[in-house]
Chains A and B, each alone.
Chain A
Amino acid sequence: MPSKLKGLLTGLALSASLFAQPALSADRELLNTSYDIARELFAAYNVHFSKYWEAKTGETLEVSQSHAGSSKQAQAIIQGLKADVATFNQVTDIDILHARGGLIPENWAERLPNNSSPYYSTMAFLVRKGNPKNIQNWDDLIKEDVALVMPNPKTSGNGRYTYLAALGYAQDRFGDDQTKIDSFLQDFLSHVKVFDSGGRGATTTFIEREIGDVLLTFESEVLNLADRYENGEYEVVTPKVSFLAEFPVTWIDEYVKQNKTEDLAKAYLEHLYSEDAQRLLAGFNYRVHNETVKQETSDRFPEVKLLPIDAIAGSWENATNEHFASGGKLDQLQRRR
């Protein structure tokens, strides 16, 4: 019995060491925490960056990925998930790493170009084959018989972006006329047939359940969907005015110090701005900053007047308090329906 027990324990210890450690074939390791639908994007970028890093320094690299909703990821990092870099889809979730965790400095956004957002996207429309309701811009969405599908602004960042994009359009068109802005937004919300809890849910409602005439979500998602279903079954409409959705990145100072990965983490994020990497990002239907790549992909990404959060609501904090908090503008406009 004791020898059997010993055997069992040795076996367990062996398998423990197997699963406790990542494959230690590489010289260095990096952990990237990311939002839930960026798996393929970073799977491709990690290969690209590992090659670049090995050519530059001779060190082999193992980049691990963690994917979940970016608010959940931020919480995990604060509670001790020792990630070297965070690549999120919401600025507020990185701000929290400073405000609640004290893990990064307050000026994190100034450490890399373009507000530390190497790529960006905007909100766009997906319509059914032939665009039967002739949707071209935001004001077409409030025509009599148009039904919309979008994620719920209360529960999803994606939905908040869509709401802010509509608000931005109204401000751009009506200027200071608050009554007209409110009445447009109210009209817009009353055309939404289904508010799904998240972006993927809205996509399923539109495509699988065939509800609604227009799906409102990220341009990257809309382009992916149009690619996925050939024969022009769905068409992409990019409105003339929309919201600038940034995809912020940062290295996590506290943990890169502990993990001794500061140089690597910085290089990993800085390299996202290189021409090759920007081309790769554009391949995943994100808009990028590099001029050469921009010109190459101009037919895919038509000119849009992009409004940043500052122009629409002042700041994320304002937007949350004024529009999305309980009893805020969003609630008022929906109640008055």
Chain B
Amino acid sequence: MNASQSSRHRRVGDSPVIKWLLIGIAVAVALALLIVPLLVIFVEALGAGWGTLADNLTDQYTLHAIGLTLFVAALTVPLNLVFGTALAWLVTRFRFPGRKLLITLIDIPFAVSPVVAGLLYLLLYGRNGWVGSWLADYDMQLMFSWPGIVMVTVFVTCPFVARELIPLMQQQGSEEEEAGVVLGASGWRIFRTITLPNIKWALIYGVVLTNARAVGEFGAVSVVSGNIRGQTNTLPLHVELLYQDYNIVGAFASASLLAGIAVFTLAVKGFVEWRQTRSLNRLQTEETAQ
């Protein structure tokens, strides 16, 4: 059948020359744009040896930047985990006016440039902002300290979990949950024993993406951070600071940490996808066996 098909209409991609040319171009582009730059980070970071790398990473301010970045991620991820799940649950399991609008609104943080997001928060919560001036009367300050950084990071990363869950939950439908309701289970029980197991891997995937973005966010954080070394300097800001100081090795050392997190994220992502397919396959085998 294949032979007869190809003899009837030969397609452009069938010629081996074209095939290898396309593969070659794809590989070359991937190498030039993705792999070589990633390798350069590690090569530069190690350019002056492991000792210098260790010195750079254990610098007082670098350590603080690492700690602050992890701390911000540790607050952001749970917040968005709860928010994203609740939102996905809401828009896929209930019908109400404005549902479509809500689904569109979730994407605002993707559509808005992070710098603009940072500026919006600054203008709203800064000293002269609507909310900020009111808070200042009570001697409370959100911008230029860690709460501000957490706020913009939550904003920038909030679509990830919901975006992963919504298509999956739409596809799965609500039959199983409806069965649960008919059998008299409470809402919490339905969520824990039916919904959560179904969306587990997509949820983890969303968390991984949220975490990666929270750790790497530069634009929005740069606007609200105040760049105080040892207080509000996150790792990506620290990379820029070192670079501007001509401390290239130090900048690449910190950048290699971020790149390391990225590579780790990819590994987790690969593992999660593998588990997801495996559990799907098992499900299908069980169904056929029955």
Contact = CB atoms under 8 A, between A and B. Distances in A.
Given A22-B230, A64-B229, A66-B226, A82 B141 contact: yes
Contact of A78 (B74, B128, B244, B245): B128
A15 B71 contact: yes
Given A22-B231, A23-B230, A79-B143, A67 B241 contact: yes
Nearest to B133: A80
B64 A19 contact: yes
A39 B241 contact: yes
Contacts of B75: 12
Contact of B146 (A19, A31, A68, A80): A19
A16 B128 CA distance: 26
B226 A81 contact: yes
Contacts of A20: 145-146
Given A37-B244, A80-B127, A16 B230 contact: no
A19 B68 contact: yes
Interface in A126-160: none
Interface size class of B (residues with CB under 8 A): 20 to 34
Given A37-B245, A67-B241, A19 B228 contact: no
Interface in A2-22: 12, 15-16, 18-20, 22
B146 A16 contact: yes
Contact of A65 (B68, B128, B141, B228): B228
Contacts of B231: 22, 64
B144 interface: yes
A76 B144 contact: yes
A35 to B, nearest CB: 10
Contacts of B227: 66-68, 76
Nearest to B61: A65
Interface in A88-144: none
Interface string B142-159: 011110000000000000
A40 interface: yes
Contacts of B132: 79-80
Contacts of B241: 36, 39, 67
A16 B70 CA distance: 11
Interface string B68-101: 1001001100000000000000000000000000
10 contacts: A15-B71, A15-B74, A16-B71, A19-B67, A19-B146, A20-B145, A67-B229, A76-B144, A78-B128, A80-B136
